[in-house]
Amino acid sequence: MSHIPLIFIIAGEASGDQLGADLMDSLKELKDVRFAGIGGQAMAAQGLTSLFPMEELSLMGITGILRNLPHLLRRLRETVETIQQMKPEVVITIDAQEFSARIMKRLHKLPARPRLIQYGAPTVWAWRPGRARKIAAIVDRLLCLYPFEPPYFEKHGLKANFVGHPVARETARESHREQNLLCVLPGSRQSEIQTLLPIFGQTVALLQQEIPSLKVLIPTLPSMRHLVEQGTKGWSVDVHIVVGDEARRAAFQKASVALAASGTVALQLAAAGLPFVIAYKVGKINEWIGRAIIKTPWACMVNILLAFHTFEPGFVLNRKAKEKVKEPWIPEFIQDDCNPEVLTTALLTLLEDPNARNRQEHAMEEAIALLKAPAQAAAKSTLEEMNTPLQLRKNLPTL
């Protein structure tokens, strides 16, 4: 009986779980392979039995990691030991970067190790650029979601391929927008939901004063449904909560505008053509740390993509870059700007000003077009790496 290669995949968040599931599906179409690793419901649907619940890795900020450090270290040891026992041909890490980086460092030191692939590049263009050299020292290949990313890593000798973003492969659907239906997306982490739902609830109350017929729809994860239900009990409008990817996609086609936490959901909204406002807020400690190390002037990926595309070549994403753009393509309000009054004004603009909606719709369409890559690019790059002898790899800088 012929040997069937084993691929070990690690994902720690909902977006990474979906990315992993898409990769598994593509790999199965190209080759007979087996899977093990850590993932959520989407990867489970593709046949993965998770080593432990993926949610244990979905920690927010420095404080969240420190509080759970002993448990994370135990999971780290467990994961490395499992990989050593199972001897996969390839290990692929997708997100949960602090956890994944430590896995890769330990595996890289093994005398007989698997090929190591990171799917999704560290955001070195936004903060801690030194991570590009460090990741080049511990992985064999990097699969990049954004077209401007490979050069940041190739200069350190790492094979980096732009493989496209999964949102660009989503099939466009006909929209049937319902007037004055607000889609609220408070995030996928517990800490995000607990912070943003009260602010979003106050925003909804103010918006309802201007639009009495306002309706609210909240797509969320099954694991977060109870938290969202509890957090919206005192809202001034009836809230319809839906769970699952299909329900989320349907909500994006039905709503007339969205209020969303910063994150992967911004690209999903752009792919659906639903105008939206981005909002985000973290605790004071994480804010202080973020201001010290994060250099990008924008949080929304649509704004970052279009800035790189508009000002290339030689564009540097730093706070001075904001001077080149009169206003971002997607309105975003972070920290102190994330307040009900400001958010209400921005949402009213998108609901009542056709020109503002048209400008944003054009920007979203342009951004999604930039994310397209050949079909199955990530799976093909994975199989190419799996078939490349390790001794052919270039000498890379050490940590």
What superfamily does domain 181-369 belong to in CATH?
A: Glycogen Phosphorylase B; (3.40.50.2000)
Tokens representing 152 are 């940041």
pLDDT for 355-390, tens place per residue?
Answer: 999 999 999 999 999 999 887 999 999 999 999 887
pLDDT at 2 over 90: no
Instruction: Please identify which residue in the block is written with the tokens 């994961």.
Output: 79
pLDDT at 299 over 90: no
E strands, 244-292, in order: 257-261, 276-280
CA dist 329 → 255, 297, 363 (Å): 20, 13, 6
Q: What is the pLDDT of residue 137?
A: 94
pLDDT for 283-292, tens place per residue?
Answer: 666 656 566 5
Every domain of the chain and the residues it spans:
6-164+373-392, 181-369
Q: What is the pLDDT of residue 399?
A: 45
The three-point CA angle 251-305-301 to 5° equals 45
Q: What is the edge-to-edge ordering of all strands in the sheet holding 181-185?
A: 239-243, 215-220, 181-185, 257-261, 276-280, 332-334
What pTM, to 2 d.p., does this model score?
0.81
Q: What is the pLDDT of residue 45?
A: 97
pLDDT at 276 over 90: yes
Give the model's confidence band at 395: pLDDT under 50 very low, under 70 low, under 90 confident, else very high. very low
Q: What is the edge-to-edge ordering of all strands in the sheet holding 34-38?
A: 34-38, 6-10, 90-93, 115-119, 141-144, 159-162
Is there a shared CATH topology between the 6-164+373-392 domain and the 181-369 domain? yes
Question: How many percent of the chain have pLDDT more than 70?
Answer: 87
pLDDT for 43-97, tens place per residue?
Answer: 999 999 999 999 888 764 555 666 777 888 899 999 999 999 999 999 999 988 8
Q: Which residue has the higher pLDDT, 17 or 392?
A: 17
Average pLDDT, stretch 154-169? 93
What are the contacts of 41-47 at 24+ separation with CB within 8 A? 41/17, 41/222, 42/17, 42/18, 42/245, 43/9, 43/11, 43/17, 45/21, 46/21
- Give Dmax over CA atoms of the chain in angstroms: 69
Contact 11, 94 (CB under 8 A): yes
Contact 138, 106 (CB under 8 A): no
303/179 Cα distance (integer angstroms): 26
Would you identify the CATH topology of the domain 6-164+373-392? Rossmann fold (3.40.50)
Give the model's confidence band at 392: pLDDT under 50 very low, under 70 low, under 90 confident, else very high. very low
197/216 Cα distance (integer angstroms): 13
Question: How many percent of the chain have pLDDT more than 90?
Answer: 67
The single-letter DSSP state of residue 269 is H
pLDDT at 272 over 70: yes
